[in-house]
Every structure is written in C-alpha cells, then in structure tokens.
Structure 1
C-alpha cells in the first residue's frame, strides 16, 4: 500500500470518526465525511463502496487499535487484568459511548445478527493470547478458539450493557465483577 493511499484512508477514517462523534451514524453522510477529509466524495468511494463500509472500517480500526500490546502474563490475575483493562478502555471509547447513545440498533445488529471484522480480529487475538497462556499453565485446558469465543461473548456483553446496570455496578465494581467472571471461567477447572 502506498503512503498516499494509507494517508487518504486515514484522513477519511479520521473524518468519519469526527463526524460520527459530532452527529452520530444516522446523521453522517458520505458527503460530510469527504468534506471533512478534504477529498472528493468519489475518492471516498474508491476506498469503500458506501458509507456503511466506511463505518465498519472505522469500528474495526478503533477496536483493533484498542487491543493491548503483547505481553507475557506471569499468572492468571495478570492475564485477567489485561483483559479487563482492555474491556474498560473499549467501554470508555468516545466512539463506543456515542454509538451507544445515538445508534443502539448498531450494537444490536452485532450482538444478534452478525459477526463483524472487529469481532473476528478480537477473537483471533484472544485465541492467540489464550493459547500462549495455556502453554504457560495459567489458563485451563480447552480449545483456545472456544474459550476465546466465550470470553468475547462475556466481555462484549459487559461492555455494551454496562450503562444498564451502572446503579448496581458502578465502574470500579464493574471491573471487579468482570475480573471475577473471567478468572472463574479461565482458571483451572476441578
């Protein structure tokens, strides 16, 4: 990929992020994004077939960028801390907060109807991390892809539904309970 292509893609996605944060997805158009990016609308369409594809690429970029750097966890507690820190960071992303407030049907689509590129990327990352943690003896045996799928379901639900239960689970308690759930699930089984 040439530097110009990468710069143009980045400019378009940065513009899409700014527009979505300002107006929400439903009120953001390809024209709005192109204007903010300083490109022609036709340029945007050279990279993505429609504005929904731009939004999908934006979500993938932002969520994958939120994944932590590779580290070697020394115990289950450290491994779970990385997962909870990542979930909390994603939960507090301005893009996630804005979409939760203005476009909740988008979340429903990814919970009920389809897996997106970002979920697939996160699942692959989790599978790899779980396999490494299993090799170190800190996560219980089992197929890493299956364990990763369940962790993804647990964390995705916790992230997306956190505001619904905030009266019972304020942020600190949310972190603590998510950590307990993940430790219980990933820890050695009797």
Structure 2
C-alpha cells in the first residue's frame, strides 16, 4: 500500500498532467497545479523546488510507465521487435507527448535533442537488457548491447518526434511496419 507521501506526490503529478493537457507547459504554473491537486503551494514545494521540476518528474513518470517491464523475456527477434514497436507506439500516442509536440515544441525538442534525462536513461537500460538477452538467446547480432540500444533509442525517438511530419507519405499505422523492418534488419544477424 502506498504511503501518504507518495499519494500526495502522485496527486500533484496527476494535477500537473491535467493542467498541462489543458493549457500546455508554458501556461501552467505551480499555483495552478497546487490548486488542481487541492494542496498548498508549500506542500507542493516540499516535493519539487519549482514547476519545471514537476514537469520533468511528470514526463519521466509517464514515459517510464510505457516500458514493458513486466513483459516476459522475448523469445525471438520478431517478439523483441514487436515489443519495441509497441512501446514506441505507446509513447507516440501519449496525450502528454502530443500536447508537448503541439504546444511546447521547443521544450519537447530539448528533452529529445539536448539532454539525456531520467526517462531516456531508463529506456536505454531496459533496451540494453532486452538486447543482451536476445544476444544470449542467439537472435540478436553480436555487438556491444548498449551501443545497439542507443541506436534503437534514437530510431524510436525519431518516430515519436517526427511521425506527424511524414504523415502524408506514411499512413498512421504503416510506420509500425516500417519501423519493424528497420529494427529487425539492424538487430538481426547479418
């Protein structure tokens, strides 16, 4: 059972999510979040020093929630690739990601292009582990697993960030097939 502290922190993050979805990050203040969470600003500041720290924690929580941590070990390259594509699709379809892409593109770009954040490190760790497992089972090519994971992360981020830009050439779900081909070719034995 969650303690009161984690319940309050999650209530604040839930409020931040609702405010960001309604107004975008630039138009959401710590006061807005505290009011929506029904806590005082002083309570909010016991958990995070400012609104930017709340937004970073929110993005991290939402992205990490998409990781298939409880999914069983992939038994084949097709299963691994399907898991990676499903994860990418889950992130791509997140309302928070869509809102950031449309209302706060410079912030979205900073999180994708300029800094390696907690969520990216968690995703990289999960990718590295799954790729190493695939190598142990013989269906992922031999190479440094973290290096492979970094390139897979870049491909996944590109699809999340740029898929709307190429929508006139790739129908909404056809990108899944193309990403599958890309990842299968990159990770499979040569």
TM superposition score normalised by structure 1: 0.96
Q: Deviations over 1:123-166 (max 9, x none)?
A: 01111111111111111111111111110001101111000001
1:72 aligned counterpart, secondary structure: coil
Task: Tell me how far apart the structure 1 counterparts of residues 83 and 172 of structure 2 sit (CA, whole Å).
Answer: 16
Q: What is the distance in 2 between the residues matched to 1:89 and 1:139?
A: 23
The answer to whether the 8 A contact 2:73-2:130 is kept is no
| Moved beyond 3 Å, runs of 4+ | none
Deviation, 1:73, is 1.6
SS of 1:140's equivalent in the other structure is coil
Quote the offset at 1:186 in angstroms: 0.4
Report the CA distance between 1:72 and its aligned residue. Answer: 2.0
Higher mean C-alpha deviation, range 107-116 or range 83-92: 107-116
Q: Which runs of 5+ in 1 are unaligned?
A: none
CA RMSD, aligned part only?
A: 1.2
Q: Deviations over 1:75-103 (max 9, x none)?
A: 11111000001101110011111111101
The whole-number CA distance in structure 1 between the counterparts of 2:19 and 2:94 is 15
Tell me what 1:184 maps to: 185
1:63 aligns with 63
| Aligned-pair CA distance for 1:43 | 0.9
**Distance of 2:73 and 2:115 partners within structure 1:** 32
Q: CA deviation at 1:173?
A: 1.1
Which residue of structure 2 aligns with residue 119 of structure 1? 120
Confirm whether residue 147 of structure 1 aligns to residue 142 of structure 2: no
**More off after superposition, 29-38 vs 104-113:** 104-113
SS at match of 1:141: coil
Q: Give 1:170 deviation, angstroms.
A: 1.4
Superposition deviation, residue 46 in structure 1: 0.8
3-state SS of paired residue (1:123): helix
Structure 2 gaps, min length 5: none
2:107 aligns with 106
C-alpha separation between the residues in 2 aligned to 1:157 and 1:128? 21
